[in-house]
Amino acid sequence: MRSSARRMRRVGRELAGDPVEFLINLPDLVLETPERRAKRLKGGGFMPWPPRPYVALVDWEQRLHEQLRAPWPCPDGDAFRELWDQILGELERRKLPVGRGAFAGWGDGEPGLTRAVWCLVRHQRPETVVETGVARGITSRVVLEALAANGVGRLWSIDLPPPGQPGLHEQIGAAVPDRLHRRWRYVRGSSRRRLRGLLHELGTIDLFIHDSKHTERNLRFELGHAWKALTPGGFLVADDVDLNHGFHAFQADHPEAATLLCLAEPLTPDVGRQEDRGVFALVRAPMSEASASESLPVPPVRAPAPR
């Protein structure tokens, strides 16, 4: 009874906070009810039921660099570690907590996911990157720093601030400094409202990062549309795929995709997740004959000095 009352209060806050978004996402809210119920009653509140764990790779980083025809060990590893420490230090000085659940129950990108994104951007040199889910913008910052190091590329970020929590809205993208804004466009709204229009506007994309609402229906919606817009050899990155069955369905629909399943590296154990860590996925679209030719590796860079 109390859980029903809490849900009704949450629905009321969302309706009052943004009626347009509420109505656009209402069909999902209804159709996702069985998934939420199964998680609540049998999955410990957040894991999908029945369990369908992934076989995650221990050596995913080396395999990723082999796919990219990039040097291994990665020559940009030290630059990433310096950047990661810099980002956490900046947020700590602003008294903004990080980690799972630190932002309205959600979390920013953890070291494993963001390191993968850093390497993808540095070695692939994408011109057009789209992400869903921003929170405090740690993943956004990593993408933008890598684009700046490359000297090419822009990032579009779709994010709907937490309904009913206006105090958090000013923290959206807090990790992104002003000097990187010229490469960044923040698109306010849910992916259900904004993604298709943005992909139509852009035409094609080189890299897509899913880190928004982690339900089967939403993940399949986002990856399905992003896959159609992806350039040959481009990548999809999907965080927290162990939180629903959607990525299993995506793999079944796209056997042509080259997939790496990777264990996350949360700052503290994520108890109840797969191996108390969670799983993210890296997916590469088939390459055209022209793009299959070997490219020269980019020179390593150091993380920028704090400003």
Per-residue pLDDT band at 11 (split at 50, 70, 90): low
Alpha-carbon distance of 111 to 4, in angstroms, equals: 36
Provide the terminal-to-terminal Cα distance of the chain, rounded to the nearest Å. 52
303 has a pLDDT exceeding 50: no
DSSP 187-238: EES-HHHHHHHHHHHH--EEEEEE-S---HHHHHHHHHHHHHHEEEEEEEEE
CB contact set of 30 (below 8 Å; sequence gap of 6+): none
- Average pLDDT in the chain: 90
**pLDDT 10s digits, 187-203:** 999 999 999 999 999 99
pLDDT computed for residue 108 by the predictor: 81
pLDDT computed for residue 162 by the predictor: 81
Domains of the chain: residue spans and CATH? 2-42 (no CATH), 60-284 (3.40.50.150)
Residue 201 CB neighbour total at 10 angstroms: 8
From the list 51, 73, 49, the residue with the least C-alpha distance to 61 is 73
**pLDDT 10s digits, 103-141:** 766 778 899 999 999 999 999 999 999 999 999 999 999
pLDDT computed for residue 159 by the predictor: 95
Mean pLDDT of 296-302: 50
pLDDT computed for residue 133 by the predictor: 94
15 has a pLDDT exceeding 80: no
**pLDDT 10s digits, 59-84:** 999 999 999 999 999 999 999 999 99
Question: Cα 134 to the chain's mean position, in Å?
Answer: 8
Per-residue pLDDT band at 100 (split at 50, 70, 90): confident
